[in-house]
Structures are given as C-alpha cells and as structure tokens.
A and B are shown apart, each in its own frame.
Chain A
C-alpha cells in the first residue's frame, strides 16, 4: 500500500521514532499540533488536506483522537506498517514514561521548580494548539456556509460545551451535504 505522491518515504522504524519523539515531548496536550508541524510542515510526508481530513475523522470516530490520528497519519505514509508504527509510537513510550514518573512522583512534587517548569511548558503547548487553530481557520474557504459552520462548531464545543459527537454529526453533516451538492453541480 504505497501512496506514490510523496517522495522520500520513511521506514516504519523511522516513523515509530518520530511518533515516539513527539509523544514524549508533548506536555499538556497539543499533540495534534505537533503532528501537523512535523508531518505536514517540516517533513511534508502528508499534505495539509490529508492531515485535516484525518483530524476531523479522528475526532468524529470513537476512540482517543490522538491515537486515531496517529494511525491515520501512519497509514497515509506507509500503509499497514505505518499505522502500527503510529499506534505504538504514540502510546508505548509515554505509557512507560508515565509509570516511571508515577513511581518518582512523591519526590518530584516537593520541588516548586518542577511545577513551574510544567506550567510554562503547558502554556507554550496551548500556544501550539492556538497557532494550529488559526492556521486551520485561515485555510477554510471564505464563503458563507464554511465560515458559519466553523463559527458554530467553535461556539457549540468551546463555549457551550455541547456534546462533541452531536456537534460533529450535525455540523459535519451539513458541511458534507453542502459540499456534495456543490461537487455535483
């Protein structure tokens, strides 16, 4: 399952290592932002559109979205072995890390410095998420329906904390129907 339009395919091991490195350096969320940065912007292994499709599908389908997105990205780059590399790379090293840290936890939190470092790193990570949202918003077509859908999704989930699945089904359904109609005419 080789997708031919992207040059310089990494091996499954390389993919695993890249996913591991991102997984181990993401503090306080923002993992999807790091993925976009690495796989789309830096290495150009997948296109921004492919990434955005994967992001929306990962969130809409059941399952932890970061894990879904890893499988999606891995599959897009290398087929089955890439999907496995993405799954393992995102889950395994951080899982080992969390157990090790939990074992050291009592000693670590005695230091205020540890807390401060984590708050600062977390704030920068949220900035990553913000940057990614702005870039994604910038690439939405400047037309009434897409703009309204973006704004409605933001308000429903971000402000009113409505059910994510319900919002995605409704807004995504409208977006799909609109685009399907447009694609036919």
Chain B
C-alpha cells in the first residue's frame, strides 16, 4: 500500500498547474479525484468538506489542506497544501522579478494599460458569479449592496463591515 502522502502530492501537484483564476476552476477535478478515483471520502463527506472550506476565512482552495488532513493527518495537510500552492509560486515570483527589471519597457507599458480593462471585467464577472451563488435571499443582497456603497464612498474598515453584515443578517433574518 502506497503512502497516502505521496498519493496526495500526486493528486494535487498537477492541479496546481491547471488552476487558473480562483480555486473554483479546479474544484470539479478535486471532487472527482477525492471521491471517485482515490475513494478518500463519500460524495456527502465531500460536500461537508466543501462547506467548511467556504465558511472559513482565507483562500477557498484550502479545501486541499482539509482533504490532506482527513486523509493523512498533519503530514497530509502539509503535503496537499504545498503541492497545490507551492510550484506555481515560483512562476509569479519570476514574473514579478522581471517586472521590476524591465520597468518602463514598451511591452510593460502595453501590458499595464492593455490588461487594466480585462482585470476590471474579471472582477465584475467574479462579483456577478458570487452574487448569484449567494444564499440568504433579498436580505443578503441588500447587505451586499449597502456594503458595496459604503466601501466605494467611504474609507470604512472592511472587517467592521463584515461584522455589521453578519450582525444585521442574524438579527433580521429570524424575524422574516
């Protein structure tokens, strides 16, 4: 029987490279590997695991950490996390490094101005997807809009807004 830590690395290392954008892009493949291929957990367990990864702060892709933890304890958690997050770090690091070295080059100026509208479109698109997958009905949507307005027009600390959002929903929702 192979050491599960190696299997975790073998599963998450390739996923590291195909993960583009949010960790969501790799989620379907993580589910397939975890449930169908490796039989680490049932599909119901996977949904629970996914729910926890959504409820906790930080990157949603930390679901890999949790799967590693469930499969092989602490070594599993460390292996899965590093396999998913580690290798591609060197790529963005190299790009950041080159960016500084060639500051002001024509290709860089073009990248800066050329990518700006694409980045704006991506943020708005991600927001749209988030709004559609949000639970909590109109009350949650109202909180979302109020929070967006407050952040756009004031310098309020977002953490305070999150706390306010949580308190507002918990206070009003039971009355509905």
Contact = CB atoms under 8 A, between A and B. Distances in A.
Interface residues of B, number: 97
Interface string B61-83: 11001100110000001000100
Contacts of B91: 61-63
B23 interface: yes
Interface string A30-71: 111110010001100000010011111111111111111001
Contacts of B134: 122-123, 126
B20 A62 contact: yes
Nearest to A105: B52
A126 B152 contact: no
Given A123-B141, A180-B107, A56 B93 contact: no
Contacts of B119: 52, 55-56, 59, 136
A63 B125 contact: no
A102 B62 CA distance: 12
Interface in A127-181: 127-137, 139-141, 146-147, 149-154, 156-159, 161, 164-165, 168, 171-172, 174-180
A175 B161 contact: no
Interface in A63-92: 63-68, 71-72, 75-76, 83, 87, 90-91
Interface string B150-162: 1110010011011
B151 A128 contact: yes
Contacts of A182: 110, 113
B114 A116 contact: no
Contacts of A87: 85, 89
A183 B110 contact: yes
A53 B112 contact: yes
Contacts of B167: 117, 120
B115 interface: yes
Interface residues of A, number: 107
B7 interface: no
A177 B169 CA distance: 47
Contacts of B155: 41-42
B115 A53 contact: yes
Contacts of B95: 57, 61, 72
Nearest to A23: B58
B163 interface: yes
A101 B55 contact: yes
Nearest to B101: A1
B42 interface: no
Interface of B: 16-23, 25, 48-49, 52-62, 65-66, 69-70, 77, 81, 84-85, 87-89, 91-93, 95-97, 99-100, 106-107, 109-131, 134-136, 139-141, 143-152, 155, 158-159, 161-170, 173-174
Given A24-B57, A62-B88, A63-B87, 12 more contacts: A25-B159, A64-B59, A91-B81, A94-B59, A102-B52, A119-B135, A120-B140, A126-B147, A128-B148, A150-B124, A168-B118, A180-B106
